[in-house]
Structure 1
Amino acid sequence: MGQKYHQDSEATIHCQISLKLYTSYIYLSMSYYFDLSDVALKNFNKYFPHQSHEEREKAEKLMKLQNQ
């Protein structure tokens, strides 16, 4: 059982988790887009997987906090 937070705090944290996971997905999608052979900015694909991972880790930290 997780901590008992105020409902507004709980909802805000859930919203933040969703945004972090969404951002992670967008970064991952951008990575694959810039990896396409017909896209001029090919080296951009190296930046976005790292960013995706960072955002996913932040979401996981918030989820762990919720479950303490």
Structure 2
Amino acid sequence: MASQVRQNYHKDCEDAVNKQINVELYSSYVYLSMSSYFDWDDVALRHFAEFFKEQSHEEREHAEKLMEFQNKRGGRIILEDVKKPEQDEWSNGLEAMQRALQMEKNVNQSLLDLHKLSTENIDPH
């Protein structure tokens, strides 16, 4: 059944928002894994653990906001499997921070792609 509030919401944009939700949830998952690692008793880098836990919460909040947006636009949320982080141990904090930076760049590129797609489909929301 089609949503009664849906108006000028291109299917490609709806699909891209669902993809972005998954990107944000994956990032949250990776950050949570990093937080857990740095909280291990034999690693015990508390501030790294706290930092990555906060980043995990932030990424999840982004996913939740996109889910709210999807519902407001009359789209349907389709959650995908969140893949396991590629790495769950780190040689040091620098390596984890470098991975985090690369992940943030990937998330940002995905958002830029979403913006471009919505512009191409004349969807200013």
The reply to whether residue 63 of structure 1 matches residue 70 of structure 2 is no
**Runs of 4+ deviating beyond 2 Å:** 1-4
Q: 2:6 pairs with 3, 9, 18, which one? A: 3
Rounded Cα–Cα distance in structure 2 between residues aligned with 1:13 and 1:66? 7
Q: Across the two proteins, how many residue pairs are aligned to each other?
A: 67
User: Could you list the runs of 5+ residues in structure 2 that have no partner in the other structure?
Assistant: 73-125
Larger Rg: 2
> Greater RCO between the two (CA within 8 Å, min separation 6)?
1
Identity over aligned pairs, percent: 55
Deviations 1:19-62 (A, max 9, x none): 0011111111110101112226x131010111011001111011
Of Structure 1 and Structure 2, the greater helix share is in 1
The TM-score with structure 2 as length reference comes to 0.50
Instruction: Tell me which amino acid in the other structure corresponds to 2:6.
Output: Q
User: Could you list the runs of 5+ residues in structure 1 that have no partner in the other structure?
Assistant: none
The TM-score with structure 1 as length reference comes to 0.87
Partner of 2:18: 14
